Amino acid sequence: MALAGGIGGARFLRGLRLAAPDAEITVIGNTGDDISLFGLRVCPDLDTVMYTLGGGINEEQGWGRADETFTVKEELAAYGVGPGWFTLGDRDFATHIVRTQMLAAGYPLSAVTEALCDRWKPGVRLIPMTDDQVETHVVIDDPDKGRRAVHFQEWWVRLRASVPAQSIVPVGADDAKPAPGVLDAIRDADVVLFPPSNPVVSIGTILSVPGIRDAVAARTVVGVSPIIGGAPVRGMADACLTAIGVETSAAAVAAHYGPDLLNGWLVDEADAGVEVPGIAVRSRPLLMTDERAAAAIAEAALDLARELDKDAA
């Protein structure tokens, strides 16, 4: 089983599915960057996993739908209705319309996600970390408005993380409960994998839901570094790490997770030789240039997990 954020997580999972075709894979998805736009509930990370594993993703971009059009967005703009900085395509809108309608009818997000996956058949069981609302907020010093908290997406997408984050807070996490099935899936897992997702706003947010971190810590946990040679492979994880006082390096991220949580850590060849006390580090190429490359990384993670298997020990 795996915890997952967006693009990096989804691509890793596609490799994992290829590497372990007979495994029952459960994915706990981050919902901290969910946002309501135009009255519709948007779950970027869940959708990226669903579209990527379901064959509907825009491959080049890594998020959103393939063969996408933007008529609805243009029309909303013609009505003067924004925000314009968050791009939603017509195909994507349909997902949010179905989700919002089901949520309004009283279904929890986990049931909605299952219903959406009925179409996409991602080949994994995708569960949101929680059915409760957890919203990642970023405290920034806004050049115009002074210090204020903004929704993660406003910082990430609108500001491109160009304004330093003073802090990053998963608002609502303290009172959130793991979604049905989450703790059971972790408890029953042979191994828990951390894909090369953002350690702060993806994996970190999932772990902030009470109960998840402890459940994960009881399992064999192997992670894949999202940092290669001191820089994030993609995205702006460095800006997030800086905000929580962690150096942007493969070793620092592993140390941030800590040996009580993380047992094995895959780093890129560029980081070969890195050592983290209490954590078994292995180096190999980590660029997921295609599905095969992602599968090879997943295989290496599974190999390391078997080597470190807590139950077998």
Residues that bind a copy of itself (CB under 8 A): 38-40, 69, 71-73, 75-76, 78-81, 90-91, 93-95, 97-98, 100-101, 104, 115-116, 118-119
Nearest distance from C-beta of residue 105 to a copy of itself, angstroms: 8
- Our CB check for a copy of itself shows the closer of 38 and 63 to be 38
List beta partners, residue 27. 2, 126
Using CA atoms, how far apart are residues 195 and 222, in angstroms rounded to an integer? 9
- Our CB check for a copy of itself shows the closer of 119 and 160 to be 119
Residues 6+ apart with CB under 8 A from 9: 2, 3, 27, 45, 48, 49, 195, 196, 197, 202
- Our CB check for a copy of itself shows the closer of 12 and 120 to be 120
DSSP string, 231-296: EESSS-HHHHHHHTT--SSHHHHHHHH-TTT--EEEE-GGGTT--BTTBEEEE------SHHHHHH
Using CA atoms, how far apart are residues 49 and 31, in angstroms rounded to an integer? 12
Nearest distance from C-beta of residue 80 to a copy of itself, angstroms: 7
First vs last Cα of the chain: how many Å apart?
Answer: 20
- Our CB check for a copy of itself shows the closer of 100 and 133 to be 100
Nearest distance from C-beta of residue 210 to a copy of itself, angstroms: 31
Q: Tokens 């180096």 label which residue?
A: 283
- Our CB check for a copy of itself shows the closer of 101 and 162 to be 101
Nearest distance from C-beta of residue 101 to a copy of itself, angstroms: 4
- Our CB check for a copy of itself shows the closer of 105 and 313 to be 105
Nearest distance from C-beta of residue 76 to a copy of itself, angstroms: 5
Nearest distance from C-beta of residue 23 to a copy of itself, angstroms: 27
